[in-house]
């Protein structure tokens, strides 16, 4: 669960920085925004001098995909 919380934290920070709001509708997600999320995870460390590695970034993207698919499945 702690890994999902970390992914959630990345998403919250990204949405706040990119869109200036605290939430984003799923229908507003585009390929470009998902690519931007990946870039954000790779380049913006949550802790100082602790960038996410390639494997870590891919795990965050995998969790994001699971969350999106779950939300889509629930309407």
24-69 pLDDT, tens digit each: 888 888 999 999 999 999 999 988 888 889 999 999 999 999 999 9
Domains in the chain: boundaries: 2-73
Pair 60, 52: CB distance under 8 Å:
yes
**Structure tokens, 74:** 């629930």
Distance, CA of 42 to CA of 7 (rounded, Å): 12
Distance, CA of 48 to CA of 33 (rounded, Å): 24
Question: Length of the chain, please?
Answer: 75
Confidence band for 9, pLDDT divided at 50, 70 and 90: very high
- pLDDT on residue 27: 87
Note the pTM of the prediction, 2 decimals: 0.85
């Amino acid at each position: 669960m702690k890994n999902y919380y970390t992914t959630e934290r990345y998403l919250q920070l990204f949405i706040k920085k990119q869109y200036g709001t605290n939430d984003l509708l799923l229908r507003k997600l585009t390929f470009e925004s998902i690519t931007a999320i990946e870039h954000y995870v790779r380049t913006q460390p949550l802790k100082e001098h602790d960038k996410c590695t390639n494997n870590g970034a891919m795990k965050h993207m995998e969790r994001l995909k699971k969350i999106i698919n779950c939300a889509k499945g629930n309407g």
